[in-house]
Amino acid sequence: MNKTLADLIRISNTTGKDTTLVQGGGGNTSTKTDDGKFMYIKASGTALKNMSASTGWRRMRIAPVLEVIKDTQLAKLPANTREPEVVNRLLLACDDDVTTGARPSVEAHLHALLDKYVIHLHPLVVAAYVNAKKGKAALDKLFRNWKYPPLWIPYTDPGFMLAKKVAQLVAGYRKQHGRKPNVMILAKHGLFVTAETPDAAIRLVHKVIRLLKSNLPKPKVLGKKLPARKDILAAKFAVRKAVLQATGQYLPVRFILNDTVAAFIARKDAGKLLATPALNPDELVYANGAAMWVPNVDADAIAAKLKALVDKKQKPSAAFVVKNLGLFIAAGTKTAGVIAEITTGSLQIRSWAVKFGGVLALTPREQDFINNWESEAFRKQLATAAGQGELKNRIAVVTGAGSGLGRSIAVGLAHAGALVGLADIDTKAALQTAALIADETPDASTLLLPCNVTDEKSVDKAYEYILDNWGGLDILVNAASVAPPYGLVDMPVDKWRLALDVNLTGYFLMAKAAARIMIKQGIGGNIINLSSKSGLEPSKNNTAYTATKGAEIHVARGWALELGQYGIRVNSVAPGNVFEGSKIWNPAYIKVCAKKYGIKPEEVIPYYVGKTALNREIKGNDIANATVFLCSEKARTITGQTIVTDSGRVMVR
């Protein structure tokens, strides 16, 4: 790694790890080679703290980058034509071996204008001024003794027009002061610092921050008291329901109560401060604008506000500040953290802006430009690039997820876009399932739920963990089962009771707790009992398994009758013999089957496959597909039914 790139990584990581300097992974950095011919710059959509020698940057030829700004014809093009053209030209200016498709920062042409080392950040203390009506006047006063004061950049549409404006103002500054500015402060945007060495640039960042911070009131630290868990859950359920009603989206909901949020909800003017639109592009793009103020927890009222935004062709809020409770984020797990960080910062900025004449937010025209700006759409796409499956963001719990069909179903649900809680008494096995999902579906989200399904306290604890992290429940798949291989006369009573406990009591406890949550949520749900073809047609020498699998189907029908009034559907999947990855079909069990039919152990699996109409071995994925179907809207009128996935072994009559 050459020194120029090493310097880029260092200044990026140093500033990017400081959460007071960056919001939501934003900001840009660049370094130029000694000969002035090349520039290393952060790639679009990369967090500064995550940059490394192998990823997150592009090397560009500076001459063609500067030519972009000089092109007078570009300025005459409409924005929707001009901005993609600029992106293409910046890509063509890249000169490196990067093959990932990473784009150079859309502000590359702006960086090319400035000195050797450039750091662009969105610090909260800077935002307090640039998002306030009288912020510029306060800045002028603070920097009045600087020989070379910061260059103020009035708000300009980001991208090409901002670079043109900066080029013009830098030229004027140079004419006046005989040098380029070391500091630029951009209205409704952030801070640019540029210097001849990396250490000088970092020192200058901190010097500016200290000065601006000295003029701000210290954030209040209140003795925050965590609200009652039932009140937090009620708000999560209300937000989930409202979002679904208004947008048709299932989303997890996260609760946040830190010092900034606690201080903000204690303000009498909290609602008024949130009545203004987004402060900056990041808040608009990632958080869909300012957080919604919620004075009362009422799903219908929240939904009405969201629908009003949608009707105005505005983005529905992703953040909700609930009076006396805290901040709630309704978003996919990949973006929830970014939205929370940006929104928490916005609450602090809005509080500070009161000192400087009030909040200065983006105008409707400025919002329209950003919403239609291809570069911001690209950045958000990178940040939210999760699967678009038919169960996207549904919250599911699968028991027995550590092996066999439980594992297959968990993998299938994750592939379909669901957030999957992996419930299993064998934590190590569940971790292996999580690793498998991460490998096959990298954008999927899972939670490990150590759970003994026969223990009510253990069951309740598993659901509490799901609700604390994701804020709801949409799907339960009861898959944890045992199959003691005994006939009637040889069945030990303890094995009989074990089968009843796991296969029936476990299903009952999990379903009871799930149903209570789904009823309170008020948006329906799905419960799937994984039964077996043995629940429809008895298996020889399989007394306990046959009994419990038949009972699972029948209780599912009863639950369907009970829960239908709440929009909760209950169905069963009855697989045939699935051999791959099964704990049931272990060598000992296969020997029992071989003895039962008078064949060799290696002949058992072909023997069972040969008994099917399709003569086709059943795979775990086949069972997962049936489960995904039953949980999807394609099966919205199916309840109390049993889907038999056995290649035609048993015909339901």
As annotated, the active-site residues are 545
Q: How far apart are CA 41 and CA 51, in angstroms?
A: 11
What residue has token string 């809020």? 317
The b/e string for 466-487 (b: 16+ C-beta within 10 A; e otherwise) is bbebbbbbbbbbbbbbbbbbbe
Pair 563, 520: CB distance under 8 Å: no
Tokens for 288, please give them.
Answer: 């869909």
The 10 Å Cβ neighbour count of residue 372 is 12
What residue has token string 């929104």? 343
Q: How far apart are CA 530 and CA 549, in angstroms?
A: 8
Task: Please name which of 259, 274, 629 lies closest in space to residue 475, comparing C-alpha atoms.
Answer: 629
Q: How many residues are given for the chain? A: 653
Task: Return contacts of 106-110, CB within 8 angstroms, 24+ apart.
Answer: 106/44, 106/158, 106/159, 106/375, 107/28, 107/158, 107/162, 107/163, 108/30, 108/39, 108/41, 108/60, 108/65, 109/65, 109/66, 109/68, 109/69, 109/160, 109/163, 110/162, 110/163, 110/166, 110/192
Q: How far apart are CA 573 and CA 278, in angstroms?
A: 48
The 10 Å Cβ neighbour count of residue 123 is 23
Give the neighbor-by-neighbor strand order of the sheet with 38-42: 57-61, 38-42, 28-32, 117-121, 190-195, 183-186, 151-153
Tokens for 38, please give them.
Answer: 């090349």
Q: Which amino acid is at 315?
A: K
Pair 402, 396: CB distance under 8 Å: no
Tokens for 550, please give them.
Answer: 């038949």
Instruction: Label residue 140 left, alpha or beta by phi (over 0 means left) and psi (-120 to 50 means alpha).
Output: alpha
Helix (H, G, I), strand (E, B) or coil at 117: strand
Q: How far apart are CA 25 and CA 617, in angstroms?
A: 48
> What is the separation, in whole angstroms, between the first and last Cα of the chain?
70
Q: Write the DSSP string, 204-237.
A: HHHHHHHHHHHTSPPPP-----PPPHHHHHHHHH
Q: How many helices (H) and strands (E) does the chain have?
A: 25, 18
CA dist list (Å): 51 to 58, 163, 649: 11, 24, 56
Task: Please name which of 463, 449, 382, 356 lies closest in space to residue 410, comparing C-alpha atoms.
Answer: 449
Q: Which amino acid is at 623?
A: I
Instruction: Count Cα neighbours of 259 within 13 Å in the Cβ-side half-sphere.
Output: 6
Helix (H, G, I), strand (E, B) or coil at 477: strand
Q: How far apart are CA 467 and CA 561, in angstroms?
A: 26
